[in-house]
Amino acid sequence: MNDTVRKMARNLRLGGLLETLDLRLQEARGNNLSHDEFLEIILQDELNIREQRQIHRRIKTATFRDLKTLENFDFGFNPSLKRKAIYDLASCQFIRQQRDVLLVGPPGVGKSHIAQAIGHQAIKANFLVLYRSVFDAVRELMAEGLSEDQDRTMRKYLKPDLLIIDDMGMKHLPPRAGEYLFEVIMRRYENRSTMMTSNRPIEEWGKLIGDVPSATAILDRFLHHAEIINIKGKSYRLKDRVQENQK
């Protein structure tokens, strides 16, 4: 490939094409590819690279705690969890339908893993995702500042196709947290999908939030179109600790 072609490709920002062009030229010569076939291959290379870069950017924007997948989730450890229900969520149809999801269960059963894995699948399906623990979300939403900064923060929580709020029930939330959470849930209701995880039953959310009316209002909106998946069983983390001690 000559320098003129390289320069034109750079000017056109065809970086993906440039990465594979030398190899594709050899392939074209060795297999006597037609011009149409060669052009299709190098343009597909460019599209593939752009897609991978977009996925990488969206994963970074999502701010997952860990990059989890369903492939490395141990469904056999807690057989009460139905694999089909989780993979149905991973199809992202609930996002297309602007429905919500609540994962409920004791600590350590894989709620955060599943939520982040579904978020990862959503990104691969070209959806915008934001992951936050409930504590980080409340801290950001309640942070003092100019109204413009507050509006910017609110837009950050309203824009994603899927908002994942993790760890509800780990500890009580600060005063007025319920008001801010309700604002987010209310404005996303029937417009965008929200997924939440909780290790406490919904009957206790009033105590957790410290505001029964706000908790009731949140649940009224959130549960209207929500799929609730109750995960029972032992803790994965305790299993790993026992295995380490047995070594």
Q: What is the pLDDT of residues 20-63, one digit of tens each?
A: 888 888 888 999 989 999 889 989 988 989 899 999 999 999 99
Q: What is the pTM of this model?
A: 0.83
Taken in order of first residue, the domains within the chain and their CATH numbers are 3-61 (no CATH), 83-242 (3.40.50.300)
SS3 of 145-191: the string is: CCHHHHHHHHHHHHCCCEEEEEEECCCCCCCCHHHHHHHHHHHHCCC
**Greater model confidence, 46 or 245:** 46
- Angle among Cα 208, 170, 156 to the nearest 5 degrees reads 85
| Whether the Cβ atoms of residue 175 and residue 208 lie closer than 8 Å to each other | no
Region 170-193 average pLDDT: 90
Q: What is the pLDDT of residues 85-134, one digit of tens each?
A: 999 999 999 999 999 999 999 988 999 999 999 999 999 999 999 999 99
Q: How far apart are the first and last CA of the chain?
A: 57
| Whether the Cβ atoms of residue 53 and residue 43 lie closer than 8 Å to each other | no
Of 139, 99, 130, nearest to 229 by C-alpha is 99
Q: What is the pLDDT of residues 202-242, one digit of tens each?
A: 888 888 888 888 888 889 989 998 999 999 877 766 655 54
**Greater model confidence, 246 or 137:** 137
